[in-house]
């Protein structure tokens, strides 16, 4: 379940930042960059803030979020 929540949230954030970049201000592209950097960082460190937050909110850790454990 954690994997599903993670993918929906991250995918929504990327799409939302692209829409904001197009319609609001070019600086919203930095949010998309931030998301990408965090995904790359989590691949190396095996830690992801979103995964930690979702687990604390009670999401079952059946699958994996952005790290393989």
pLDDT digits (tens, 9 = 90+) for 5-61: 999 999 999 999 999 999 999 999 999 999 999 999 999 998 999 999 999 999 888
Is 47 part of a structural domain of the chain? yes
Q: Rounded CA gap, 66 and 35, in Å?
A: 12
Q: What is the pTM of this model?
A: 0.78
Q: What are phi and psi of 51, to 5 degrees?
A: -60, -45
66, part of any domain: no
**Domains identified in the chain, total number:** 1
Residue 69 lies in a domain: no
Assess if residue 63 is contained within a domain. no
Determine, yes or no, domain membership for 10: yes
Contact 5, 59 (CB under 8 A): yes
Tokens 């829409």 belong to residue: 19
CB within 8 Å of 68: residues ≥ 6 apart:
46
Residue with tokens 């790290």: 67
């Amino acid at each position: 379940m954690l994997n599903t929540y993670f993918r929906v949230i991250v995918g929504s954030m990327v799409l939302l930042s692209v829409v904001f970049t197009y319609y609001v201000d070019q600086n919203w592209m930095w949010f998309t960059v931030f998301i990408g950097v965090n995904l790359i960082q989590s691949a190396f460190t095996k830690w992801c803030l979103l995964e930690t937050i979702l687990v604390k909110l009670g999401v079952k850790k059946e699958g994996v979020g952005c790290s393989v454990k």
